[in-house]
Structure 1
Amino acid sequence: MADMGVSQAELVEPRGDNGRKLPQYLAALAATLGALAAGSMLGWSAPVMVKLTDPNSTDYDFSVTQRQGDWISSVINLGAAFICFPIGLIMDAIGRKKTMLLLVLPFTLGWLLITFGTSVGMLIAGRLITGVAGGAFCVTAPAYTSEIAQDSIRGTLGSYFQLMITIGILFAYVVGGYASVFVFNILCTCIPIIFGVVFFFMPESPNFLVVKGKNDEAREALIRLRGSAYDVDYELNSLKARAEENKRNQVSYIAALKKKTALKALLICYALMVFQQLSGINAVIFNTSQIFSDAGATIAPTIATIIIGVIQVIATFISSLVVDKLGRRILLLLSALVMCVCSTALGVYFFLQQTHGSEADIVQAITWLPLVSLSLFIIAFSLGFGPIPWMMAGDLCQIDIKAFVGSTAGTLNWLLSFTVTSTFNSLNVAIGAGQVFWMFAGIMLVGFLFIFFVIPETKGKSVDEIQVLLGGEPQQRPEEKK
């Protein structure tokens, strides 16, 4: 007798994309609790460093100079860049689930050093360690969610990573802005622990289990993720066929990357990370308060920062709803175009302010421009260039290079983030804020053209179908092989 929770269509056509979706949503949300921890790490410095660099601060028993504060803020990028490549090897060796559970230890240790630090060195060490854990999550969580998801919801589940990042940042802005530094640190320490407890009960990636020859465990994982009425054997056979094909053709990373499809996937993943960071997103976020102030707004810096955090969360949530309907390509194109226009507008405002002065009539006539441009910039980034670059390695790459491409792309992203955040103020002084934003606009114009001419649409497509789009040969279905 049919299960009352299963539709007739699922029983008649159990293959393809039928099957229960709720367990996949729950597993993806559990995995991206690690992204929530990473988001709180990223947002920590915005509310906290203002307090710590205040000469009258009593949050710690030592003082923090502005230069030391810059290092405390930015050192997470170096920790994240350091771990991205090794974590790819680790998750291929012991699995996605075990790797993420192990990350609870360094994340908790890092926050404890920050919470009970007795010197600037301990704060830097704590931030470095949390950067290592946060950077590792940026590789493992997207890989896990892409491998547990069916094709029709892969984009939606993949976008949860960036959504939870933005929620973590907003959490840091709100709680860090109003709670004491000690209380805020304790709450941040709890997040990775909660993640560990919840994620412990989630299944391992079926894809990984098949690669390791654990077919019975893979079958059980698929049943947990798809439901007992789903044709698990069909998908399992497909995974086994792909794993056997990769095993027969198993070569080194260097040899694997010589394939046309692998090279194109690598190029796209790297390029998207470059455009994401060189879009100027961090320059915009870090100067939110100044832009609001320059526009004559009376909103307090803390409130202004929270407003931007809310905009990020809402726009990223909308992206998660439409990414599997509109597709990755159209969202990236829209994102690049709007960010280009907004950066141009911000450049015009700062250039006129620099050349004519803040009180000039022409500047006073467009005091609304930076507020509108900033809000639209954040919305556009959150819809496209925020979440999508992180999910593309999962979409485009076969399992033999997925960990390598995802981890090295993550390393590139964090190194670029460190470069942009550490040089923005110097660039402002050297060439002017207006010219810097025009440079960002030019980069996004190049990004728009790259997306238009190079990047294929992966919405709702299987791994094999995507490989064909990248120039590969069509693969036989399991039932077609004799």
Structure 2
Amino acid sequence: MEVKVFHSAYFRQYACVILATLNMIGAGMDLTWSSPVLVKLQDANSTVVSRPITEEEGSWIVSAMLVPYFFLYFLFTPMVDRIGRKYSIILSIIPRTLAYVVFIFGSKVWMVIMGRILQGGADFFTLGAMPMYLTEIASKEIRGSVAMGLQLATVSGMVLMYSVGPFMSYEHLNVLGLVTTVVLSVPLYFLPDSPIFLYKKGRKDEALKALKFFQASDQKAMEELNQYEKCTPKRKTKIKTLLKNKVILKTLGLVAVYCTLLVLTGHSAVMYYLQPILVATNTNISSEIASVIISVMQLASSIVTALVVDKFGRRPILIVTVIGTFIGKISLGTYFKLLETENPVLKSLNWMPITSLVLAICSYSAGCGSISMWYMSELFDDQGRALGMSFVMGISGLGVFLSSLFLAPLMRILGASTVFWACSVFTLILCIFVYFCMPETKNRSFEDIQIEMGKKCEDMPKDSLK
């Protein structure tokens, strides 16, 4: 009987994850919106602006969504700790909705860029707060697979954008985005907030009620609540106090290096420019069909990871998939080098670019793309998680902004082969870093993870305002 009740708790957690992460479909559409839209805006027959956009304007349209990451970084920590994880995600719906309204009615390049900035603001809060919410509502035994809902929903949004984007008009595509955003946001209003957040706000009864909903029994809920009381400071910890904590500084250092290497793999920039890159490969498969194939395989690889992440752990999956990403990038760079030199062997290698892209993108999706955000969220304790995730979003946003802005010019100046080979080198360095430096969090409570990072609960300050 106890097993049945325990599994019903898992069911409730999975149900909440599915309903919450429906919002990530909108984030996935945002992240890949530029891929089909750039082709439309560069075409005189389909552009909605007065003329086809230039390469420089295209670069700004791609990278503009990262601009909010520079200033929202300072707002994220106090906001997510004040209004909570759930309502921070709900707040992100407003700028995403406004973005699609601007796209529908905008007829100037600057208006398209403004819409992208609004999308970036929405994604900042969604991508920052959602991993926190998922990791804090899940039992440690299934925390990995539960948090995988974030990636599955995001990739589903990407699949939707890649599948319909090339075949719909600019106006109809943005109407679809608007309707999807509004409809999929509704279930989130009815979900419980994070028990940890509720406890930290002094709402102990609400926290216990949420724990009873998420846990297998009232006894387990009380045990979890007692753990909060043991490890949580009695008063709010100031940011300057957190920044004096050696363990938090160590964790910030780890995630800073990890995020920087992640950006230097070039994956995000490749996804923004996927359809233009596919056009450049000049393969027998149309760029529209190829982008659909790649996005569907991304979804399949994410599903596989969701099924095995709590069995094999985070680090082994990251290492294996980063190696796959490395091989794909090396192969893609080699193909572009042959293309640049007009090597006759290209006639027998039409399969190579699409195969290399599938390997690189799907490996990344199965590993870094699926695991990174909530994996880094796991590394921080309850007090430092908001600060840590805002730091992660800030570092990632700056890196992706720069790589997206300069990818097209660098490919033109240095050649696509050089760019992809450079990305493969950083991918290999990332693999080495994960192997030697990143801890495993599989089946570990937040307390156990912090102990491995060097902190004990009794070391937490009882009054951090002093």
Asked if these proteins are the same fold (TM beyond 0.5), I'd say yes
Separation in 1, partners of 2:70, 2:370: 19
- The aligned counterpart of 1:190 is 179
User: Secondary structure in 2 aligned to 1:151?
Assistant: coil
CA distance in 2, matches of 1:54, 1:195: 32
Where does residue 42 of structure 2 map in the other structure? 53
Give unmatched runs, 5+ long, in structure 2: 460-466
| One-letter identity of the residue aligned with 1:414 | G
Deviation at 1:107, TM superposition (A): 1.8
Report if aligned partners of 1:153, 1:324 keep a CA contact under 8 Å in 2: yes
State the secondary structure of the residue aligned to 1:459.
coil
- Equivalent residue for 2:143, pick from 135, 150, 154: 154
| Residue number in structure 2 paired with 1:68 | 57
Whether 1:210 and 2:193 are equivalent positions in the alignment is: no
Determine the structure 1 residue equivalent to 2:359.
376
Partner SS, residue 367 of structure 2: helix
Per-residue Cα deviation, 1:287-336 (whole angstroms, up to 9, x for no partner): 54566566663211111111111111111121111111111100111122
Residue by residue over 1:191-231, the C-alpha shift from the partner in whole angstroms, topping out at 9 and shown as x without a partner, is 23223311010001000000111010111111222355563
Q: Distance in 2 between matches of 1:102 and 1:170?
A: 25
* Identical-pair percentage: 31
Query: Which of structures 1 and 2 has the bigger CA Rg?
Result: 1
Cα separation, 1, equivalents of 2:157 and 2:272: 16
Paired letter, 1:333: I
Kindly state the Cα deviation for residue 171 of structure 1 after the two structures are TM-superposed: 0.8
Change (3 A) 1:271 1:335: farther
More moved, 421-430 vs 162-171: 421-430
Q: Confirm or deny that 1:333 pairs with 2:299.
A: no
2:162 aligned to which of 173, 194, 203: 173
Which residue of 212, 216, 232 corresponds with 1:223? 212
Task: Give the aligned residue type for 2:2.
Answer: Q
Change (3 A) 1:254 1:341: farther
The correspondence for 2:423, drawn from 418, 440, 457, is 440
Matched, 1:408 2:424: no
Write out per-residue CA displacement over residues 64-83 of structure 1, whole angstroms, 9 at most, x where no aligned residue: 42243332232111124432
Which residue, out of 2, 19, 24, partners 1:8? 2
Which string of whole-angstrom CA distances, capped at 9 and with x for unpartnered residues, describes residues 137-168 of structure 1?
01011111111111011111222212211111
* CA 21–85 in structure 1, closer or farther in 2 if over 3 Å, else same: farther
Question: Which of 436, 453, 477 is matched with 2:436 structurally?
Answer: 453
1:134 to 123, 147, 154: 123
Per-residue deviation, 1:94 = 1.2
What amino acid is the match of 1:89? P
Instruction: Find the residue that maps to 1:200 and give its secondary structure.
Output: helix
**Counterparts of 1:100 and 1:292 in 2: how far apart (Å)?**
34
Kindly indicate whether residue 252 of structure 2 is the aligned counterpart of residue 266 of structure 1: yes
Specify which of 15, 28, 42 is matched with residue 17 of structure 2.
28
**Does the CA-based 8 Å contact 1:39-1:164 persist in structure 2?**
yes
Q: For the Cα contact (< 8 Å) 2:21–2:150, is it kept in 1? A: yes
Counterpart in the other structure of 2:463: none
One-letter code aligned to 2:45: N
Pick one of 470, 473, 476 that aligns with 2:453. Answer: 470
Residue 291 of structure 1 contacts residue 370 of structure 1 at CA under 8 Å; is this kept in 2?
no
* Change in CA separation of 1:372 and 1:159 when aligned onto 2, cut-off 3 Å: same
Q: Which residue number corresponds to residue 227 of structure 2?
A: 238
CA, structure 1 residues 395+337, in 2 after alignment: closer, same or farther (shift >3 Å)? same
Rounded Cα–Cα distance in structure 1 between residues aligned with 2:296 and 2:203 = 43
Residue identity opposite 2:336 in structure 1:
F
Aligned length: 458
Q: What is the CA–CA distance in structure 1 between the aligned matches of 2:293 and 2:112, rounded to whole Å?
A: 28
TM-score by length of 1: 0.88
Match in the other structure for 1:280: 266
Q: Return the offset for 1:390.
A: 0.5
Distance 1:279 1:180, change over 3 A: same
The equivalent of 1:309 in structure 2 is: 295
Distance in 1, matches of 2:326 and 2:359, equals: 11
Q: How far, CA to CA, are the matches of 2:74 and 2:186 in structure 1?
A: 26
Aligned counterparts of 2:409 and 2:454: Cα–Cα separation in 1: 43
Taking a change above 3 Å as real, the CA distance of residues 192 and 435 of structure 1, as seen in their structure-2 partners, is: same
- The corresponding residue for 2:92 is 103
Whole-Å Cα distance in 2 between the matches of residues 230 and 30 of structure 1?
26
Verify the 8 A CA contact 1:19 1:230 in the aligned structure 2: no
Does structure 2 conserve the Cα–Cα contact (< 8 Å) formed by 1:76 and 1:130? yes
Stretches of structure 1 that go unaligned for 5 or more consecutive residues are 1-6, 477-482
Structure 1 equivalent of residue 330 of structure 2:
344
The answer to whether the 8 Å contact 2:319/2:434 transfers is: yes
C-alpha distance in 2, partners of 1:195/1:335?
31
- Amino acid paired to 1:264: K
